[in-house]
Amino acid sequence: MNDLHGKRILLGLTGGIACFKAAELCRSLVKAGAEVQVVMTEAAAQFITPVTMQALSGKAVYTSQWDAREGNNMAHINLSREADAILIAPASADFMAKLIHGKADELLSLTCLARPLQKVPLILAPAMNREMWAHPATQRNVAQLKADGTHVLDVGQGDQACGETGDGRMLEAEEIVEELQAFWTPKCLAGQHVLITAGPTYEAIDPVRGITNLSSGKMGFAIARAARHAGAQVTLVAGPVSLSTPRGVKRVDVRSAMQMNEAVQQLTANAQVFIAAAAVADWRPALAADQKIKKDGSGDTPELSFVENPDILASVAQTARAQSGALFCVGFAAESHDLLAHATAKRARKGVPLLVGNIGPSTFGQDDNALLLVDAQGAKEFPRDTKTKLAYDLIQDIAARLVKH
């Protein structure tokens, strides 16, 4: 998993009400394993105190270029050389304007200017009023910053402190942390479009009852997130789950196996990789009642007949694009026992180059898993770990296979 352990991040705060979010951001960065050094402008200290940021980062905060703690009195040099990245959050409109002109009249802008360009990336999380963000001058400055190699994050949309609503909010702490994780992830799937299914399906018996399974969708969602971090364009077809959409991922919600099949058939034409991680129901009631089936006190039970659902993975694997190698298909098998034997047989039956097996009862709803990867040459294990870590490992494995494919 590409977390932030060992990363040295210089967190710069400029003036703006979004400084209150910087406290949670600092806490989240430390929790993710990063070492955080905070540098604040004089304006930032009007919104949040250096004492707060020192308590959260565990390091004394720098606010002045004349800080006597530095033996050589060159804080801007020392700080920029010790960082793996400089993150300005919030980045005000004024500060971004200073950056494009190389103006350096206080410690934070001086440190940004002094950083080794090829070694220390500069990442900005803008925050300002919606009119300030939309102003042509700001947009020109953002374009120039990007042209200069600065990584400028998107802004959020919503209510603003001034009472207006629109674009310009600083991203939330968890969104910025995820952007940093994505920033440092090798882009092994750059240029690829990955289509993923995740979660269970729900097959209605009547308007209030149905057949489903215990899949939480966590593994599929983790794979979607890892693929996006690896540079892929990701589309996620999700059954009924209570999970938030991974940042930067396009999500299509479905309910039944038939709906999932229809969505997948429409989306595979533009994909290079198809990962069928969903736990799709094998059967559905032949006829769903329009009204709730009521018991009448007689003790008789309703008779239900079932029909087989379409085999989504097998049908995609038989398409011309999959057969020609233009679409790489990965299947999943959730078994209760004899995993190797069942996964091997399923891979052959489905006609896919890679089948990923796991023991369903021990992983459904959990945050960890263990995977067995089965291909034509045999099998290898990914030992039990977090689903996030396994998702990164699986994406790297798939990317390596694409090179050979």
Is residue 112 part of the annotated active site? The answer reads no
Domain end (from 183, 205, 234): 183
Residue 156 within any structural domain of the chain: yes
Closest CA to 256 of 314, 212, 316: 212
Structure confidence by residue, pLDDT tens digits, 115-170: 999 999 999 999 999 999 999 999 999 999 999 999 999 999 888 888 888 899 99
Asked whether residue 298 is assigned to any structural domain, the reply reads no
Per the prediction, the chain carries an average pLDDT of 94
Q: Which of 112, 162, 188, 329 is catalytic?
A: 162
Considering the domain architecture, whether residues 273 and 340 belong to the same structural domain is answered as yes
pLDDT in tens, 163-219: 888 899 999 999 999 999 999 999 999 999 999 999 999 999 999 999 999 999 999
pLDDT tier, 337 (very low <50, low <70, confident <90, very high otherwise): confident
Confidence of residue 405 (pLDDT cuts 50, 70, 90): low
83 and 136 share one domain:
yes
3 in any annotated domain: no
**Is the predicted pLDDT of residue 2 greater than 70, yes or no?**
no
Is the same domain home to 131 and 232? no
Q: What's the pLDDT at 297?
A: 82
Same domain membership, residue 249 and residue 154: no
